[in-house]
Chain A
Amino acid sequence: MELSFSLLVQQLFIGLALGSIYVLIGVGLSLIFGLLTVVNFAHGAFYMVGAYVAVYIFEKTGNFWACLVLVPLAVGALGLATERWLVRPLYGRGLDYPLLLTFGLAYVLVDSVRMIFGVQGEHFSTPELLQGTVDMGFGPFPIYRIFLVGLCATLLLALWLFIEKTRLGLIVRAGSRDPLVLKVLGIDVDRVWLLIFGIGTALAGLAGLLAAPLRGVNPEMGGPVLIEAFVITVIGGMGSLVGAIVAGLLVGVVVAMTTLFQPELAELSIFALMALVLIVRPNGLFGREGLMS
């Protein structure tokens, strides 16, 4: 294999596209952990459900753009119901209760999808408009992956504006530091948590849809993603949004580069990266001390 500069740049960009999906998953997981201190083991299952909802909607409408709007809404609604009726009764009982609950919920979701759609998996093709390649100066590059990077950047910008510039965003920032003080200032913290869980799961569902054309759709697809998402939040620092973004992109690039040189080590590489980061910075790149205490 001849290594050229353009090949490296191409692979770097592939890594960023892959990283964009990681970022969406990692940000969702990190939001939920940072504010609700819920370690959401069903996050991978919500991602998988997102992909299946996309398969279903695409079958009915044949419209990818409809999927793009409806999938996050549907998975977000499932997330709202989960927080309201399953997770909420467990607040104040320690980390392990919601952890075990979401762990079990993941199995329920996977088996439900197996019963409805079967175990064989589904194909999800890249939407026509986004098929093909475009020359970006360093050789041909798939349009769909450019779309991924652009969409992810847009969503992150929207999320940033929401958190930094809106009233609700101010409540979210304060709530990540001190939920008790919000209660005595007249803020209904339960409603804020509900919203955050909904946004986090909606992002996971959207990531499932976006990954479907690249990775295919099957009931077990959430498993490895959950592990990758945890690795990302650990590298970035538990509960840190900036950390999840940086770590997601970093993991994407590391996986893509390892694939170029030693494809069989690609899966291993993210754990090596995690170990390296933890040795140098035990709280992750952007982690605060004491979040778990």
Chain B
Amino acid sequence: MKSQALLTVRKLEAWYGRSHILQGIDLEIHAGEIVCIIGRNGAGKTTTMRSIMGLMDKARGSVHFDGHSLLEMAPHRRYHLGLAYVFEERRIVPGLTVLENIRLGIIASRHRERERHIIDEIAETFPRLQERLSQMAATMSGGEQQMLAIARAMAADPKLIMLDEPSEGIMPVLVDEMFELFTKLKKAGKTLLLVEQNVELALSIADRAYIMDQGSMVHHAPAAELLKDQAIQERYCSV
């Protein structure tokens, strides 16, 4: 890749309270790519995403996104630069309807005057949500809530969407539907960073993959190459 990277992470270290989780990682994502991070539980995959979003207690190193240095920037400002994050636990707000949850994604953005139009577009992309817009979000199934979390993160038209374990606890039919959506998003020019336990599925749609272990990036290769390399998959990804 010769083009300027959309996201460049250099020597990033991060802490939760006093525990030093990230040990100085490098990561690069180019516009239009799907990149996935794989590794065992506790390898630091979620922490990597949280650090990029600005949710850690302390971080050191450098994170550049679309020409901006992020490290000192508040999370809400990172969102307005075009960075979206879908939590592993989804964080659908209980007590609000599906529509209200989606609106939260647009409410503070420059797109909010086009709210109605955006909701229509989202309803088209996510037919499962369309018929449930006025339903209380917390009463939906896990898979539908995951779709809602993704829809909410996409509402303000981000450049890079980070998805943390999107397939976890979701029935297979919906997982397939979701990964088809990811491929469609890529075709539409979106960039995705994916953390996923379902390694084969993730590698099958990704362009490149990073392998993490104990807070460091230990390997980095084209996804197609890793897909064939059973040895490395077993070494770093078997639970």
On A, residues with C-beta under 8 Å from B are 167, 170-171, 173-174, 177-178, 180-189
Known: A180-B91, A181-B87, A184-B85. A189 touches B76 (CB 8 A): yes
Interface hits, B92-122 → A, CB 8 Å: 93-96, 100, 103-105, 107-109, 112
Known: A167-B112, A173-B95, A174-B93. A180 touches B104 (CB 8 A): no
Query: Contact: A185 with B96, CB < 8 Å?
Result: no
Do most interface residues of chain A lie in helix, strand or loop, or is the interface mixed?
helix
Neighbour of A186 across the interface among B76, B87, B91, B96, CB < 8 A: B76
Q: Which residues on the B side are within 8 Å of A184 (C-beta)?
A: 53, 55, 75-76, 79, 84-85, 87
Query: Contact: A170 with B103, CB < 8 Å?
Result: yes
Between A and B, 5 residue pairs with Cβ closer than 8 Å are: A167-B103, A177-B95, A184-B75, A187-B107, A188-B74
A167, A182, A183, A184 pick with most chain B CB within 10 angstroms: A184
Query: Contact: A185 with B104, CB < 8 Å?
Result: yes
A286 CB, min distance to chain B CBs, angstroms: 13
Query: Contact: B103 with A186, CB < 8 Å?
Result: no
B159 CB, min distance to chain A CBs, angstroms: 13
Kindly report which residue of chain B lies nearest to residue A183, judged by CB atoms. B75
Q: Which residues on the B side are within 8 Å of A181 (C-beta)?
A: 87, 91, 93, 104
Residue B156 at the chain A interface, CB threshold 8 Å: yes
Known: A167-B112, A177-B95, A188-B74. A182 touches B104 (CB 8 A): yes
Kindly report which residue of chain B lies nearest to residue A171, judged by CB atoms. B107
Query: Contact: B85 with A173, CB < 8 Å?
Result: no
Q: Which residues on the A side are within 8 Å of B84 (C-beta)?
A: 184
Query: Contact: B94 with A177, CB < 8 Å?
Result: yes
Known: A173-B95, A174-B96, A186-B156. A180 touches B108 (CB 8 A): no
Q: Which residues on the B side are within 8 Å of A188 (C-beta)?
A: 74, 76, 108
Q: Which residues on the B side are within 8 Å of A174 (C-beta)?
A: 93, 96, 100, 104
Q: State the CA gap A86–B53 with chains docked (Å).
A: 27
Interface contacts beyond A170-B107, A183-B76, A185-B79: sample of 16 additional A-B pairs, CB < 8 Å, sorted by A: A167-B107, A173-B93, A173-B95, A173-B96, A174-B96, A174-B100, A178-B93, A181-B93, A183-B55, A185-B104, A185-B152, A185-B153, A185-B156, A186-B105, A187-B104, A188-B74
Q: State the CA gap A187–B155 with chains docked (Å).
A: 14
Query: Contact: A171 with B76, CB < 8 Å?
Result: no
Q: Which residues on the A side are within 8 Å of B53 (C-beta)?
A: 184
Q: Which residues on the B side are within 8 Å of A170 (C-beta)?
A: 96, 100, 103-104, 107
Q: State the CA gap A188–B75 with chains docked (Å).
A: 9
Q: Which residues on the B side are within 8 Å of A173 (C-beta)?
A: 93, 95-96, 100
